[in-house]
């Protein structure tokens, strides 16, 4: 029986890297998408192969539909099929609304929204053509639930991802394909202890950030047969960051 194959975008670092490793542990061969971090992608591929699984790193700019298409062509030529697609690639540049430029808007929406849309389409087409009842997992954000400064582009792109997941899941259900979004909150993507960005942890209910492994565990679950009746959902995992009306730690 052929091994299951998972394609993970933006997999050379952070959450994407953790997801790729977790899925390899779950038994998947891996298509590992990266854009600029070839050394990191190659090292991750070596780890996955050391676990006994095939791993194909592919360079592709997720803002380019032509490069996304070429990535899927190469992956399908190598593996023959894709059972799971995890659309993780994204950027989260912060810019105040009054300072935002057309370049800021186009760059973020091209990667975080357009790239995810067409990656999902290529994945779903490949599944339908091969009769695979596959799964597509889209990485959204808790910014769909809360508002932060300097996020008038990023927040709405993630809201688009969650709404797209609902609409596409409805259509794809007729083909036996599930689509689910996972919405992380504050996540430590490799920052060292003492990094100023980690100071926000003191304002969170659990007073810490998520680890990338925790996000990867959720992706593993929603992609598994145990979640076979789940589709169209956006599953929030942010440690309660969006619970308080005003973030404070003195309510207990």
CATH number of the domain within which 69 lies? 3.40.50.720
The verdict on residue 231 lying in a domain is yes
Report the alpha-carbon angle 48-140-25, nearest 5.
20
Q: Would the pLDDT of 183 be above 90?
A: yes
The verdict on residue 135 lying in a domain is yes
Contacts of 187 (CB under 8 A, 6+ apart): 14, 15, 209, 210, 211, 212, 215
The verdict on residue 118 lying in a domain is yes
The verdict on residue 19 lying in a domain is yes
Count, residues in the chain: 252
Q: How many domains does the chain have?
A: 1
Cβ 36 vs Cβ 13: under 8 Å:
no
Phi then psi dihedrals of residue 179, to 5 deg = -135, 130
Q: Among 59-63, 117-121, 193-197, 236-240, whose mean pLDDT is lowest?
A: 193-197
Cβ 153 vs Cβ 95: under 8 Å:
yes
- State what percent of residues in the chain have pLDDT above 90: 76
Model confidence over 108-154: pLDDT tens digits?
999 999 999 999 999 999 999 999 999 999 999 988 888 888 889 99
Q: Would the pLDDT of 234 be above 60?
A: yes
The verdict on residue 205 lying in a domain is no
Mean pLDDT, rounded, for 34-60 = 95
pLDDT attached to residue 250: 52
Cβ 122 vs Cβ 66: under 8 Å:
no
The verdict on residue 217 lying in a domain is yes
Active site residues: 154
Q: Would the pLDDT of 188 be above 70?
A: yes
The domain containing residue 22 runs over which residues?
5-189+210-236
Mean pLDDT, rounded, for 215-242 = 95
- For residue 252, name the pLDDT band (cuts at 50, 70, 90): very low
d(CA 131, CA 82): 11
Mean pLDDT, the chain, rounded, equals 92
Run of H or E including 182: strand 178-184
The verdict on residue 202 lying in a domain is no
Cβ 30 vs Cβ 108: under 8 Å:
no
Measured CA distances, 244 to 42, 91, 161, 167 (Å): 42, 26, 24, 30
The verdict on residue 248 lying in a domain is no
């Amino acid at each position: 029986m052929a091994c299951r194959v998972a394609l993970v975008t933006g997999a050379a670092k952070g959450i994407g890297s953790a997801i790729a490793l977790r899925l390899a542990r779950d038994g998947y061969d891996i298509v590992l998408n990266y854009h600029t971090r070839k050394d990191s992608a190659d090292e991750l591929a070596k780890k996955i192969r050391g676990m006994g699984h095939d791993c194909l790193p592919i360079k592709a700019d997720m803002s380019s539909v032509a490069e996304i298409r070429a990535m899927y062509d190469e992956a399908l030529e190598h593996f023959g099929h894709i059972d799971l697609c995890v659309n993780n690639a994204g950027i989260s540049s912060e810019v105040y609304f009054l300072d935002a430029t057309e370049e800021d808007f186009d760059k973020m929406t091209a990667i975080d929204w357009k790239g995810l849309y067409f990656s999902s389409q290529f994945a779903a087409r490949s599944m339908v053509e091969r009769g695979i009842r596959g799964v597509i997992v889209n990485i959204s954000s808790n910014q769909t639930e809360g508002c932060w400064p300097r996020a008038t582009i990023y927040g709405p792109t993630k809201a688009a991802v969650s709404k797209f997941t609902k609409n596409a899941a409805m259509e794809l259900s007729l083909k036996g394909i599930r689509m689910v979004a996972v919405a992380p909150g504050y996540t430590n993507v490799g920052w060292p202890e003492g990094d100023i960005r980690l100071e926000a942890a003191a304002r969170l209910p659990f007073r810490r950030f998520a680890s990338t492994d925790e996000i990867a565990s959720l992706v593993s679950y929603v992609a598994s047969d145990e979640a076979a009746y789940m589709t169209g959902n956006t599953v929030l995992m942010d440690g309660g960051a969006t619970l308080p009306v005003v973030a404070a730690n003195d309510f207990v």
